[in-house]
Amino acid sequence: MGAPPYLVSTVPDPLTDTLGLTGARCVLVRGLTAGGSWALRFPAPGRLKVHAVLRGASRLMVDGGERPVLLEQGDVVAFGGGLSYVLAADPSVPPQDAPALLRASPHLFAHAGEEGVTEVVSVGAHFELNTAGEDLLLQALPPVIHLSRTGEEAPALCWLLEQVLREMSADRPGANGVAEYLSQLVFAHVLRACLARSDAYPAGWLRALADERIAPALRLMHADPARPWHVTELARAAAMSRSVFAGVFTSVAGVPPLTYLHQWRIRLAEKTLIQKDTPVSELALSLGYASESTFSHAFKRATGIPPKRFRDAARGSRDRSEAERAVTAAWRGASRPDGDEPGIDERRLAEAGAEEGPGSAETRPGRGGSGPPVRSRES
């Protein structure tokens, strides 16, 4: 017997949809105890790292930062991956190399400073994201996010990181699976904390997910990405005029509404190609494209390689990194592997023949031309 209807949420949630594409998983977790005078230098993580202070206090000094930040019990810091930093009880102490200390310790918790003295207990976890996660979210995060113990997310993060540490160190049935689910929760809480302060971030996916003004339009697009949405329909859902909505959406998301929709379709296609054996023709129709050839052209324009080759590469039957490199380059605006220019310019957009209203050009799958562009102009 299923749950009562009133207990089941049927409201589309763009953040949940986005989390499902990131592939977030914990790849390394270690504990640290410290006492006396100590300082540790950590290299730039290169990926998302979350550090929680479970007991005591220390100071954080980020390369390029103005002054040390006091981290107290219950505080959490998320590192976007690009900067090295020092954790210390005394900033004047020459820092010890943290990776060397951690490698040398056979225990789950490494110790820094005076032996036999434990004044600080902390845990750090490294999270790996797939290409979609890095491009959609990690690139939008600031280098350092300090979450105070008095905030909504820090207490949950401290508890979750403790559980991840326990599961990854336990020889119990299902430990890896539990740790993976907990990792998703950690990532979700970090994103929630970021969304609460998204006004400080540049335009992009993160700000779009947090902006209540465009939320109704996002929910519609995520609920039915195959539908040939018009900007007018989306504007009506957001209770704005077409021109005001297009301007607000672009200023927040960094791209016009239908470009966002097109990018979301391609992300969904990537996930399906990697995880399922859905025929490309069936996938094309499920995303609103009129034919396999139209979809394949649009997919190659966005990623640099055709769908079938992307699937083969991502699954390892060919060079596994080929898909990763191609997608990363395409979505970050770099040159495509074949030397062609990224995206579709205004000339190709006009050739697609999908236009709605003066000063706008919108493409919709299956409506002729060369398919939906990566870049369009919508007003």
Structure confidence by residue, pLDDT tens digits, 70-89: 999 999 999 987 899 999 99
Whether 370 is in a domain gets the answer no
Q: Which CATH number fits the domain that encloses residue 172? A: 2.60.120.280
Q: Say yes or no: 219 and 309 in one domain.
A: yes
C-alpha span between 62 and 86 (Å, rounded): 6
265-268, Cβ contacts within 8 angstroms, sequence gap of 24 or more: 265/225, 265/226, 265/365, 265/372, 266/298, 266/299, 266/302, 266/303, 267/21, 267/132, 267/136, 268/21, 268/225
Give a yes or no: residue 137 inside a domain.
yes
Q: Is the separation of the CB atoms in 51 and 76 below 8 Å?
A: yes
Tokens of 157: 């993060």
User: What's the CATH number where 238 sits?
Assistant: 1.10.10.60
> 9 in a domain, yes or no?
no
Same domain, 267 and 219: yes
Is there a domain that residue 378 lies in? no
The 10s digit of each residue's pLDDT in 96-128 is 999 999 999 998 899 999 999 999 999 999 888
Radius of gyration of the chain (CA): 23
Residues 130 and 161 in one domain: yes
The CA distances from residue 216 to 20, 192, 209, 267, in Å, are 20, 18, 11, 20
What DSSP character marks residue 354?
-
Same domain, 231 and 275: yes
d(CA 139, CA 118): 36
Extract the tokens encoding 53.
């202070």
Q: Which domain holds residue 224?
A: 211-352
Q: Are residues 38 and 141 in the same domain?
A: yes
Does the pLDDT value for residue 133 go beyond 80?
no
- Among candidate residues 200, 233, 248, the one where a domain is terminated: 200
Q: Provide the token pair at 224.
A: 């039915």
Between residues 13 and 330, the one the model is more confident about: 13
pLDDT band, residue 12 (cuts 50/70/90) = low
How many domains does one find in the chain?
2
Same domain, residue pair 152 and 35: yes
- Res 298: pLDDT: 95
Question: Do 167 and 223 belong to one domain?
Answer: no
The answer to whether residue 8 is domain-embedded is no
Residue 36 has pLDDT above 90, yes or no: yes
Among 115-124, 186-195, 339-348, which stretch is predicted with the lowest mean pLDDT?
339-348
Are residues 261 and 167 part of one domain?
no
pLDDT of residue 338: 35
Residues 78, 122, single domain; the answer is yes
